[in-house]
Amino acid sequence: MSSTRHNWTKEEILDIYNKPLMELLYEAATTHRRHHDPNTVQVSTLLSIKTGGCPEDCGYCPQAARYHTDIEGNDLMSVSQVKAQALRAKASGSSRVCMGAAWRNVKDGPEFDQVLEMVRTINKLDMEVCCTLGMVTENQAKRLAEAGLYAYNHNLDSSEEYYKEVISTRGYQDRLETIDNVRKTNVTVCSGGIIGMGEKVADRAGMLVALSTLNPQPESVPINALVAVEGTPLEDQKPVSIWEMIRMVATTRIVMPETQVRLSAGRTEMSREGQAMCFFAGANSIFAGDKLLTTPNPDVSEDMELFKLLGLNPQKPFIKKMQPQTVEAEDSQYQDLGEKPKWTRPEHKIERNEEAKLKAKELTK
Footprint on this chain of ligand SF4 (rule: CB under 6 A)? 54, 56, 58, 61, 63-64, 102, 134
> CB-wise, 17 or 60, nearer to ligand SF4?
60
User: Which listed residue (33, 34, 96, 130) is catalytic?
Assistant: 130
User: Which listed residue (33, 96, 131, 190) is catalytic?
Assistant: 190
Minimum gap (Å) between residue 42 Cβ and ligand SF4: 23
> CB-wise, 56 or 203, nearer to ligand SF4?
56
Minimum gap (Å) between residue 49 Cβ and ligand SF4: 12
Tell me the C-alpha distance between 78 and 203, whole Å: 39
Annotation says 130 is catalytic: yes
Tell me the C-alpha distance between 33 and 42, whole Å: 15
Radius of gyration in angstroms for the set of CA atoms belonging to the chain, rounded to a whole number: 20
Minimum gap (Å) between residue 11 Cβ and ligand SF4: 30
Minimum gap (Å) between residue 218 Cβ and ligand SF4: 18
Classify 59 as helix, strand or coil: coil
Cis amide bond preceding 216, omega within 30: yes
> CB-wise, 105 or 333, nearer to ligand SF4?
105
Annotation says 98 is catalytic: yes
Burial of 261 (0-12, 13-18, 19+ CB in 10 A): buried
User: Which listed residue (33, 143, 183, 262) is catalytic?
Assistant: 262
> CB-wise, 97 or 167, nearer to ligand SF4?
167
Sign of CA dihedral 331, 335, 336, 339: positive
> CB-wise, 53 or 317, nearer to ligand SF4?
53
Minimum gap (Å) between residue 43 Cβ and ligand SF4: 23
User: Which listed residue (33, 34, 61, 175) is catalytic?
Assistant: 61
Kindly state the helix (H) or strand (E) to which residue 249 belongs, with its residue range: helix 242-255
Whether residue 220 contacts residue 151, with contact meaning beta carbons closer than 8 Å, is answered with yes
Whether residue 243 contacts residue 277, with contact meaning beta carbons closer than 8 Å, is answered with no
Greatest CA separation for the chain: 65
Annotation says 58 is catalytic: yes
Residues annotated as catalytic (active site), given as ranges: 54, 58, 61, 98, 130, 190, 262
